[in-house]
Structure 1
């Protein structure tokens, strides 16, 4: 039996089970993982891997799942890792997710029953045009769905099942890695690369079927802390300098027609204030700084500081501090040194019956940081759309295509060894 002859997939069943487990991460927690409930899914995954006969599957103290599918070939094949993350975004509730399967979708708007104001409109989601006749999975209207990235998790799990059950698919050693806290930028903080023991990897965390991504943003976090002057408001004339008002002045002075998520696309970078907190005496503005060109991050940060200096000049008794933290870098800088990874990924997509589309990500993945940790790692489609919100959706057929792509990737590495 060839890979394309496989007709029995369990990926949709796995996915609809996994999304019902709340694994939302917490950006303000100091623990790792940031929420213990992420391990609820990870423990299930370990048991399912053990049940498949993958004997070394285990959950470590940090919430990572490691597992190995042994080689079944005499060839010396590079060790390939497949990685997805178990956590869901803090941007929308992941509690009591109720997945709904819209069978034989016919291009209608999808009104989600538990909140009819949430409508997945055909006109607003052009990729729905590719789903006519497919089974589209959504949440019920009160939560996100969790396709980011439980679609990827389910795809890797089903591919593992098929590899264990079909030894005629020849492959080298395969490593599986499931991470926590990817959504809050900490996904690989404690990955043990030596223990993982892989040469190359693929994250299953992309969007549209047929896409493979080898370029991400480079990313920094920038925090502005403002020290104002606090005085009793009844006696504040000529004395008070509110840190809260200074912070809002800074945000108001940011450019709107450029360098903003709302007005940029493609490879254009941005400066995004995503949280303000504080009091009259002290306030903070948390920014994320993004650009595909790493060298431009410094320019964007200088522009923010110039704005801060200009605003703070109007408050002579107040001061500020700026702290910059590196988050991740454009993985293309590493992947360009290993062109065979992308070549095999794209050929696998072709063999699965799709035309590959090479893309850049206006964001990052675990693969961004893994690439710079010594595991070059592009990002393959998982099939989800409209991530991080109540309109999130994925189709059963696209997830099955992702499983098929994984199988072709491992077969191609063995074939070309």
Structure 2
């Protein structure tokens, strides 16, 4: 497995600057493409699964986090409050208090449940300098977060559906988890966890049911729970063997109580909803780190910053190459041109070894009907001369399919 910190900088995906500060990476153009495509993918997957998206501010009053319990149990990991007149404002360490307020702002009937609310939003953690590294531990986090407000009878089904959505996303992204963990509170805890044994027993029993019904092997780990409840964590390991959590599913009885959330039941009375927290790809930063390490920078074609590189052999073929470039971009394929000013053809091909598709245009291709290009695939296959329209159509189809295959099927005479 590759180290994303080294490879991410070599591939011009991200970098840092001392004036911005430790744990605050910035995204370069190619990295921004990967991030944007990943964000659009997860939003689309959530919309298909019945989620509604919201936006909420990254600041909140200190009182908000006192109500949620973050101030009592999590303040050491939060940035200090900022005085604003008579109020104290805090950079949020999570999105769930804001989503609880959004739910509370309108009345809800049992007929509306489950109510699935999602957001790709910023949050901030005051991580110590010694634990910061690359994209896996940062201070400014873009989190793929969602909260499902549902009845008790719906909680297991909703949590299981979230776990299934995580599995689907991993298949599309071509990444593999190291293990699943049922994260439980540790003995004592020293005030780290909400003191409500009944809450913990109920939530733990429901999550065990989710894992057992899903058939996912898992291990219990004490001392790894959220302060308000147990959670299912999907764990990944970096090249040094250090584990980090990417995706989570949690069942929460605590915050609905703290924020006095309710819905109107069929009996006309108020009832307390269950709050299911879930994150499909976790933070965008950590997800990209794992993608880099899993694929070594050779992203699936639909995620690749550049999907097609057009290579005119000499200046004489530049006009033909530019026509192919324009066609590709019109069809939504991310394409770039690398002309002879960038070196010999062999050097340009080697430099673009991670680009899924290369289209070489020489004298013969430029003069032929149908504007063909000699196609080279990243995996070493050479389908040969393919007309421009067909080439772009095939690339667009493979990108839309989000599969691992670069070409529909090996062609006769292709390189293995």
Shorter-chain TM-score above 0.5: no
- TM-score, normalised by the number of residues in structure 1: 0.22
Indicate the structure whose relative CO is greater, using CA pairs within 8 Å and at least 6 residues apart.
Answer: 1
TM-score when normalising by structure 2:
0.22
